[in-house]
Structure 1
Amino acid sequence: MPKVDRRIMKTREAINNALIELMSEKSFENITINDISEKANLNRGTLYLHYTDKYDLLDKCIKNHLSHMLEFCTLSKPGEERLDVINSPLLMFQYFEQHYLFYFSMLSNKGITCFQEQLILMVKNGIIERLKTEEDNHGDNKEVVVQYMASAFVGVVEWWIKNKMPLSPQMMAQQLRDIFEKIMPSSVITGSRGE
C-alpha cells in the first residue's frame, strides 16, 4: 500500500472534521463547499484537490468511518472481516461512543439515508455469516430473520445515539445479547463452530 503524505492526511482529516461538525449544526443539503472550507480553514481549491464535490466528500467520509469501524469491531482473521452483532455488540457500542459526533451527525441528518443503508448492509452481512454457523436450519426463512435483526439493531443504535447514549456501551451490549438469546437458536448465539 503506498504511503500517504502526512500533510494530505491532515488536510483530509480537517475537511472530514469540518463536514461532521457542520452536519451537527445544520442539514447536509444546506452545507456549501464554502462552509466546509471555512470551517476547515482551507481555501476551496484545496478542498477540490481531494474531493469532486460535497457528495463525494460525504461518500468517502462514510466509507472511511465504516471501514474503521469494521477494523475495530471484527473478530475474524484479516480478509474474513465481519461484524458479529449477535455475540459481540460491545465493540460496536464502544466504537460508536468514541466517534459519537460522526454517528450523531449521520443518524440525525434527515437527508443522509445512504449512511443508514450502508450500516444496515454491513450489519446484515455479519448476521448472514453468523447464521451460516447454525447447524439446524428448521426450514426458517433466514432472509426475514436477517432483515429483522439488522433493522432492529440499527434502530436501537439510532435511538441510543440520538438520545445521547443514555446507557453505557456495556449495558447496551448486554441488553441486546439478552434479546438475541430469546429470539435466536442457541447454536447461533454460541456459534456451532466453537467460536
Structure 2
Amino acid sequence: MDRRVRKTRERLFEALIGLLKEKNFERITLQEIAERADVNRGTVYLHFEDKFDLLNRCIETYLQQLNDSCRSANAAEAPEVFMLRTFEYLESRFEIYSVLLRGDSLPAFRVRLSELLRQGVEEQFDRSVRDERVNREIAVQFVTTAMAGLLEWWIVRSMPYPAAEMVRQLAILLQDHGLYGSGEPPQQTRPAAERR
C-alpha cells in the first residue's frame, strides 16, 4: 500500500476511534470523521464506501495488527509466551482496544476477536494437549470463550492486574483443567503500578 494512502487511512481510523470514545457509532457522521482526520469528505469516499465500510476496515486492521504482533513463527514456543505477548500488546494499546470492546454498537469486534483467539487456541491445543480424555472441539470452545471473556473483563475494568499476572493466573486455571503443559506458569514480572 502506498505510504500516503496508509497514512490517510490511519488518520481516519484514529478519528473514528476518537469519536467512538464520545458517542455511539450510529450517531457518528462521515463529515465528523473527515473533520477529525483533517481531510475532506471526498477523501473518505476515495478509501471507503461508507462509514460501515470504514468501521469494518478499522476492525480488520486493528485485529490484524494484534494477530501480527502476537503470533509466532516458532512452533515450539510455550503457550505462556504467546499469551503474555497478547496481553502486553493489548496493554500497550489500551485506548484503541478498550473503545472497540466497550462500544455496545460494536459486536462485530467481539466476534472477530473470538475467532482470532480460537485460531490461536487450536494451534496451541494441537501442540501441547496430550490428554486423550479431552475432546478437542469442546476444549477449544471452552478456552476461547474463557480467554475472550477474560480479555474483555480485563480491558473494560481498565486492566486492574498487569499482563504477567493475568497470564500466570490463566495458566494455573488451564493447568487445572488439563489444557496446559506441566511446566510452571510464568511468575509476575512487574508490579501493577508499572503498567502502561
TM-score between both structures, scaled by the size of structure 2: 0.84
Match of 1:40 among 34, 37, 40: 37
- Cα pair distance change 1:139/1:6, threshold 3 Å: same
Identity, % of aligned positions: 33
| Structure 1, unpaired ranges of 5+ | 191-195
The 1-side partners of 2:111 and 2:78 are apart by 18
2:14 is matched with which residue?
17
- Bigger drift between 160-169 and 84-93 goes to 84-93
Match of 2:162 among 165, 168, 172: 168
1:52 is matched with which residue?
49
- Cα pair distance change 1:129/1:29, threshold 3 Å: same
The 2-side partners of 1:161 and 1:185 are apart by 24
Alpha-carbon shift at residue 167 of structure 1 (Å): 1.2
RMSD of aligned Cα (Å): 2.3
Alpha-carbon shift at residue 23 of structure 1 (Å): 0.8
1:100 is matched with which residue?
94
The 1-side partners of 2:80 and 2:7 are apart by 36
- Superposition pairs of residues 1-195 of structure 1, within 5 angstroms: 4-76=1-73, 88-134=82-128, 136-187=130-181
- Cα pair distance change 1:112/1:84, threshold 3 Å: farther
- Cα pair distance change 1:142/1:106, threshold 3 Å: same
Alpha-carbon shift at residue 71 of structure 1 (Å): 1.3
| Structure 2, unpaired ranges of 5+ | 185-196
The 1-side partners of 2:63 and 2:7 are apart by 19
TM-score between both structures, scaled by the size of structure 1: 0.84
